[in-house]
Structure 1
Amino acid sequence: MCMFNSRNPVFRYPTGAVANCLPVHFKIDMPRDLRCSAARLLVENDSTGETQVLDMFWCGMNGDNHEWWECHFAAKTPGLYFYHFEVATWRGVLNLHKGFGGEGTVMGNDCGAWQLTVYDRSFHTPEWLAGGIMYQILPDRFFSSGKPKADVPQDRKLHTDWSDQPEWKPNGKGEVTNSDYFGGDLAGITEKLNYLKSLGVTCLYLNPVFEAHSNHRYNTANYEKIDPLLGKEEDFKTLCAEAKKRGMHILLDGVFSHTGSDSVYFNREGRYSTQGAYNSQQSPYYAWYNFRNWPDDYECWWNFNTLPNVTETNPQYNAYINGKGGIVRRWIADGASGWRLDVADELPDAFLDNLRTAVKMENPEALVLGEVWEDASTKNAYGKRRKYLLGEELDSVMNYPFRDAVLGFVKGADPAQMMEIILDILENYPPQVIRLLMNHIGTHDTERALTVLAGAPTEHHDRRWQSETHLTEKQRQLGLQRLKLAAMMQYTLPGIPCIYYGDEAGMEGYKDPFNRGTYPWGHENTDLLAWYRKLGKLRGMLSCLKEGSFVPLNADDHTMVYIREDSVDAILVAMNAGGNSRTLYLPDEWRTAEPVFGEAPDRNCGLTLPPCSGTMLVRQKHPSPSGPFALGKPETPEEAVESIKDKIMENMEQEPKIKNELLDFLKNI
């Protein structure tokens, strides 16, 4: 019998991360034959190293052979707390530590501790992104409007054929300059907004759009100007305005840990008339950088001398980025709905605090999302534990752990281990963060998902091999099957699915720059595209995919089954990543549920999943008169108002949150 499980509300309530000052109830279930005479909960404050010991009290029997011990703990201060139990028995003092699946294991020696994340009780994250779909665009490679551009530097090579492969060979000096361009621009993105709307997209995450002298634009030259190949500030304002008409928001990429050496701030290449830090120690930008021996010996991002690091805590730099009228606030005022922060784990806490303040002062509902590759709740950087998710810095993060779980499961990794990755994140992150997690399976920094799922690994292969190697037809068919399954999982896990541009069209490619090809307009895989559109429609219809609970049912033998559920509806997701059919037995209430993907279950034999396939079943708890998934659309505004009033009254007691959302909507009619 289980003695303790941190994910089970019988043993710990509430489960998951909690707000500060909220009492957490702990119970352990001890066998009577151990003759327990005392039990204690030991909680270590991660920031101070101090351990608090709480006596647990005997609180009754659990059957004839087990007994309950309990206590409460409340943390006044946000932070991380690690806990385990000590039990005095006839065999001596036993330690109850964290085992697989959150369950307790009794050991004599110190082992793993459970984590309790305590966030600031005032922590609020934006509402507009919850339940939505994100789409990541590398602007140069998405679509070109064909509009003429002014003031484009002459040292850029512009491809004349949209289907060319990006350049990867070093130049005569052995340098890879990333100076070839395809001409995608902001006006081109605006032209394709209806296409993006057809996918259900609600947020466009744009890789850097500011002036920079490389096609990826992570070497910022001027934070105040849109890159001339992408257009002008007016093009950006138009994109934001047109996107909002379609219910979409624009998320900008903020590269604030370094600039380009070829920039108005550093000006090593002498392109600009300004006195950059490289040109003069009297430059207004000199204090932004850390020179070991001016001008040629300076700190760089990962030792790339074209990317000089900035000192983010420098008052002048901080004011330039985060101050009143600074970069962060200026572009939100122009229409952006927030920032994705490049290498957020390399930005100091003080800078992140100031940036969040600047963002929220300009727009309290603007998003601050950070690039963190690990579990962001336990990340160490700058020699200390970071506090990204406690309420003062980030709203959410890029969810690389979920990427590992999704791609791992689909490729045949142990489903129980992949489920453990998912449940660890759900246990460690605040719910406000979870609902906005950027759940991607590919980005500009990774190989294309289709290539990962079916291609040969890149170990021991150089860039030439990567440039010449493509999926065979057999590999591609397998990859497409697996990608559909991965997308099914990506779209139904807690958080926000993020499509890397072109994945929905069947793009493939190994590492940079082969993962950054141009979108194949007119040559999309239409079957895959229809799959993504159907998934997008499903997310728009189901309330439970916004903030519903996550209940794992099965994770073994190449299969994974889980439920997302709230007070309105529920979905059961069942997937088989193996090469043979699997039959699964479902809870009784799901045997008559409506299939929206895959086949319906047999009421007697269970659910049979063919190889590399999945099924989704939906149950509606409060069906509307217009259909099983969504409210009907009345014909007149007057009917709309009356319909909403009826819905408000219907939900007065059973669903206050829906009531408030509908009342807000009613005010705007």
Structure 2
Amino acid sequence: MNVAFNCLLEEYKTPFGCVMENQPCSLTVKVPDYYAVSGVDVILTTDTAYGMQVSFELTDTQDGYQIYKTQFSLPRCGLYFYHFRCQGAQGPFQVYRCGETDTSINQGDLWQLTCYPRQFHTPKAYAGAVMYQIFPDRFFRSGSCDLTEKLQPYWVHENWDDTPHYLPNEHGEVLNNDFFGGNLRGIREKLPYLKRMHVDVIYLNPISMAFSNHRYDTADYMRPDPMLGTEEDFSALCADAHKLGMKVILDGVFSHTGSNSVYFDRNHIFGHGAVSDPNSPYRSWFDFQEYPNRYTSWWGIDTLPCVNEMDPAFLEHIITGENSVIAHWMSLGADGFRLDVADELPDDFIALFRQRLKELNPEALLLGEVWEDASNKISYGARRKYFSHGELDSVMNYPFRSAILSFLAQPDANRFRANIMSVVEHYPQEVLHCLMNSLSTHDTPRILTLLGDSFDGSKQEKANRFLSEDAKLWAVRRECAAAALQFTLPGMPCIYYGDEAGLEGFEDPFNRRCFPWGRELTSLQTAYESLSRIKGRYAALKRGHITFENPNDHVIHFIRTLNGQRIHTIVNGGSDPMTLPITGQLLFQSYINMEKRLLHLEPWGVAIILE
């Protein structure tokens, strides 16, 4: 018998997961009688010198255990780690976490407890919303735009179905200056399609003026790229989206600018950048080791000079000024921002950004790009305060993506549960329900390709490599299973444009092909449409608790529960069919045979059932 403590069960810890500052937290520890313990303490520590020690009270003996209980509250926000110290007959010993639910003596892991501000809240509209990510150049082209001020050189593909250019030029440089002409009017024209897909939130990759097609090399924060259109086009897009009940989120790139920009002006085009003008008002934004040729750049890429985010002039331009970048785009109709590479932005910058954003619109969303568990992330030697200090409403939830892909590659339902519940435990509940849950993004291979082709050849080989018909059928089956998990787990499922239409592609730029209008894979599109409708219709899928009832290692079965509404998601990852009774209304099915009141799930079959 081990010391019993399972932080995932209310029997041992309430509330589940995180706590607000000064919120009572109750713990119960069961110690076997034969340990002859005379006292138990919980030891809470932080990365700073601050910590707490709280004593337990012996309240009962039961089934060979001494039952110890305590209650405490944390007066300071922060990330805490805790373990237990027991006073035994032979002296004190420590109790640590062992795996997901067990304990071990004098060695093991610490439990984690996030304490966040009591006044922290996320915008209600985003809980369980359906998000749609658009790479603007590749979604849809409507009419033409005035390209007079488009940064040179660039070229536009004549064929919408071309493969994006990937080969280096004669200098060995990949310029990313090939365009397809997708624009803001094109997105606006396709809003009825997004509405049919039950989309609630549109997330746009960068739209500000830039040299490249990805536009992460900002040239002017205050204007749209000429290839995309005008401020009026953006305002019209937001206005029409709002009429249809959709929000529009922009991509904020604030750790660096482009070298070919108003601010840096290495090409001497704009006239008053930090390089072209030694007295430039933007000079203090950048870190020059040897002016003007040696400077700090993002990951050593000299076309992406890093900015000093806490420079007063930069802060005024981006955040605090009356017509700052935030204020400018919010006034045009934006509903929030995704912060690119949030790990590389100082906590103080993010806190100021949030403060101004919420002053402009308390219901605006602030989402950060973080690839790992954002609750305990350490970047550049510092523990981040995304949740413990209420900085971000949401993050890109790559841990859920990793859990789904891991299960699809090698089914292990218990490992899947542990990976999911780790995030559920570590994140504040309001954050959990508006996490951005993606299967693909502009930074990853397309989900259909990942599930159908493990090829690892050269970029040139990947450029024109597509799935065979048989491989595609199998990949589509598995993508339906992945999407069912994506849409029924806590958070905002985010469709990367074209995933629902069967777009394929390895890594950048092949994952950024144009949307295949008129050639969509309708079976997959219908599945996504159904999942989006279900997500929007049932409150349990938006804000409900999650529990697991996995029957074996190859089958995922979890339940979302809210106010008596219970929705089951079952995915068969085994190589053999499985049978289960129909215990309610079948909301969604994929690769299932029905016989009277029985469901037969084929391999990678899915059932979503309202109990």
Q: TM-score, normalised by structure 2?
A: 0.96
Q: Which residue of 2 aligns with 1:412?
A: 410
Question: Secondary structure at the residue paired with 2:82?
Answer: strand
Answering whether residue 58 of structure 2 is matched by residue 62 of structure 1, we say no
Q: Which residue of 1 aligns with 2:379?
A: 381
Work out the CA distance in 1 between the residues paired with 2:605 and 2:49: 48
Asked if structure 2 preserves the Cα contact closer than 8 Å seen for 1:211 and 1:220, the reply is yes
Work out the CA distance in 2 between the residues paired with 1:594 and 1:565: 15
Work out the CA distance in 2 between the residues paired with 1:491 and 1:523: 24
Asked if structure 2 preserves the Cα contact closer than 8 Å seen for 1:405 and 1:421, the reply is yes
1:144-170 alpha-carbon deviations (Å, 9 max, x no partner): 002342423452100010000000000
Answering whether residue 132 of structure 2 is matched by residue 141 of structure 1, we say no
* Aligned ranges 1:559-638 → 2 under 5 Å: 559-567=555-563, 569-583=565-579, 592-598=583-589, 608-619=600-611
Question: Secondary structure at the residue paired with 2:41?
Answer: strand
Question: Secondary structure at the residue paired with 2:510?
Answer: coil
Work out the CA distance in 2 between the residues paired with 1:570 and 1:266: 55
* Aligned ranges 1:58-207 → 2 under 5 Å: 58-63=58-63, 65-90=64-89, 92-101=91-100, 103-107=101-105, 109-151=106-148, 152-207=150-205
1:415-473 alpha-carbon deviations (Å, 9 max, x no partner): 22222111011100011111110000110000001111121143xx3211221322222
Q: Which residue of 2 aligns with 1:667?
A: none
Q: Which residue of 1 aligns with 2:10?
A: 9
Equivalent position amino acid for 1:551 in 2: T
1:466 to 462, 468, 474: 462
Answering whether residue 280 of structure 2 is matched by residue 283 of structure 1, we say yes
Deviation at 1:407, TM superposition (A): 1.4
Work out the CA distance in 1 between the residues paired with 2:351 and 2:104: 41
Residues 552 and 376 from structure 1, CA distance in 2 versus in 1: closer, same or farther, beyond 3 angstroms?
Answer: same
Work out the CA distance in 2 between the residues paired with 1:41 and 1:600: 52
Asked if structure 1 preserves the Cα contact closer than 8 Å seen for 2:128 and 2:490, the reply is no
Work out the CA distance in 2 between the residues paired with 1:600 and 1:504: 24
Equivalent position amino acid for 1:595 in 2: L
Work out the CA distance in 1 between the residues paired with 2:551 and 2:356: 44
1:640-667 alpha-carbon deviations (Å, 9 max, x no partner): xxxxxxxxxxxxxxxxxxxxxxxxxxxx
Question: Secondary structure at the residue paired with 1:578?
Answer: coil
Asked if structure 2 preserves the Cα contact closer than 8 Å seen for 1:377 and 1:428, the reply is yes
Q: Select the structure with the greater relative contact order (CA < 8 A; seq sep ≥ 6).
A: 2
Q: Which runs of 4+ in 1 moved over 6 A?
A: 600-604
Deviation at 1:603, TM superposition (A): 9.8
* Aligned ranges 1:466-545 → 2 under 5 Å: 466-545=462-541
Work out the CA distance in 1 between the residues paired with 2:74 and 2:455: 46
Q: What do you get for the CA RMSD once the two structures are aligned?
A: 1.7
Q: Which residue of 2 aligns with 1:31?
A: 32
Asked if structure 2 preserves the Cα contact closer than 8 Å seen for 1:416 and 1:555, the reply is no
Work out the CA distance in 2 between the residues paired with 1:550 and 1:182: 43
1:257-313 alpha-carbon deviations (Å, 9 max, x no partner): 0000000111101222x2211122211111100000001100000000000000000
Deviation at 1:556, TM superposition (A): 3.9
Work out the CA distance in 2 between the residues paired with 1:435 and 1:532: 19
Asked if structure 2 preserves the Cα contact closer than 8 Å seen for 1:402 and 1:422, the reply is yes
Answering whether residue 297 of structure 2 is matched by residue 300 of structure 1, we say yes
Deviation at 1:594, TM superposition (A): 1.2
Asked if structure 2 preserves the Cα contact closer than 8 Å seen for 1:368 and 1:396, the reply is yes
Work out the CA distance in 2 between the residues paired with 1:185 and 1:21: 49
Deviation at 1:51, TM superposition (A): 3.9
* Aligned ranges 1:422-441 → 2 under 5 Å: 422-441=420-439
Equivalent position amino acid for 1:219 in 2: D
Work out the CA distance in 2 between the residues paired with 1:258 and 1:478: 42
2:365 to 343, 364, 367: 367
Answering whether residue 344 of structure 2 is matched by residue 346 of structure 1, we say yes
Equivalent position amino acid for 2:547 in 1: V
1:573-592 alpha-carbon deviations (Å, 9 max, x no partner): 111122212346x8xxxx53
Task: Work out the percentage of aligned pairs sharing the same amino acid.
Answer: 42
Asked if structure 2 preserves the Cα contact closer than 8 Å seen for 1:592 and 1:601, the reply is no
Q: TM-score, normalised by structure 1?
A: 0.88
Deviation at 1:100, TM superposition (A): 1.9
Question: Secondary structure at the residue paired with 1:75?
Answer: coil
1:72-121 alpha-carbon deviations (Å, 9 max, x no partner): 121101111111112233465332211222x23122x3320000010001
Work out the CA distance in 2 between the residues paired with 1:187 and 1:147: 9
Q: Which residue of 2 aligns with 1:626?
A: none
Asked if structure 2 preserves the Cα contact closer than 8 Å seen for 1:43 and 1:84, the reply is yes
Work out the CA distance in 1 between the residues paired with 2:317 and 2:390: 21
Deviation at 1:568, TM superposition (A): 5.0
1:311 to 308, 311, 314: 308
Asked if structure 2 preserves the Cα contact closer than 8 Å seen for 1:356 and 1:392, the reply is no
Deviation at 1:349, TM superposition (A): 1.1
Deviation at 1:58, TM superposition (A): 0.7
Answering whether residue 368 of structure 2 is matched by residue 398 of structure 1, we say no
Deviation at 1:62, TM superposition (A): 2.5
Asked if structure 2 preserves the Cα contact closer than 8 Å seen for 1:594 and 1:600, the reply is no
Asked if structure 2 preserves the Cα contact closer than 8 Å seen for 1:129 and 1:436, the reply is yes
Work out the CA distance in 1 between the residues paired with 2:21 and 2:315: 30
Question: Secondary structure at the residue paired with 1:540?
Answer: helix
Work out the CA distance in 1 between the residues paired with 2:441 and 2:193: 20
Residues 555 and 335 from structure 1, CA distance in 2 versus in 1: closer, same or farther, beyond 3 angstroms?
Answer: farther
1:490-517 alpha-carbon deviations (Å, 9 max, x no partner): 0000000000000000111001000000
Question: Secondary structure at the residue paired with 1:612?
Answer: strand
Could you tell which deviates more after superposition, 25-34 or 424-433?
25-34
- Structure 2: stretches of 5+ with no match in the other structure: none
Asked if structure 2 preserves the Cα contact closer than 8 Å seen for 1:554 and 1:562, the reply is yes
Asked if structure 2 preserves the Cα contact closer than 8 Å seen for 1:96 and 1:104, the reply is no
Asked if structure 1 preserves the Cα contact closer than 8 Å seen for 2:531 and 2:588, the reply is no
Answering whether residue 264 of structure 2 is matched by residue 266 of structure 1, we say yes
Deviation at 1:325, TM superposition (A): 1.6
Residues 208 and 478 from structure 1, CA distance in 2 versus in 1: closer, same or farther, beyond 3 angstroms?
Answer: same
Question: Secondary structure at the residue paired with 2:512?
Answer: coil
Answering whether residue 446 of structure 2 is matched by residue 448 of structure 1, we say yes
Could you tell which deviates more after superposition, 565-574 or 479-488?
565-574
Work out the CA distance in 2 between the residues paired with 1:607 and 1:476: 25
Work out the CA distance in 2 between the residues paired with 1:413 and 1:77: 41
Work out the CA distance in 1 between the residues paired with 2:604 and 2:332: 46
1:619-649 alpha-carbon deviations (Å, 9 max, x no partner): 3xxxxxxxxxxxxxxxxxxxxxxxxxxxxxx
Equivalent position amino acid for 1:309 in 2: C
Equivalent position amino acid for 1:481 in 2: R
Asked if structure 2 preserves the Cα contact closer than 8 Å seen for 1:340 and 1:371, the reply is yes
Work out the CA distance in 2 between the residues paired with 1:117 and 1:371: 20
1:50-79 alpha-carbon deviations (Å, 9 max, x no partner): 44222211111223x222111112110111
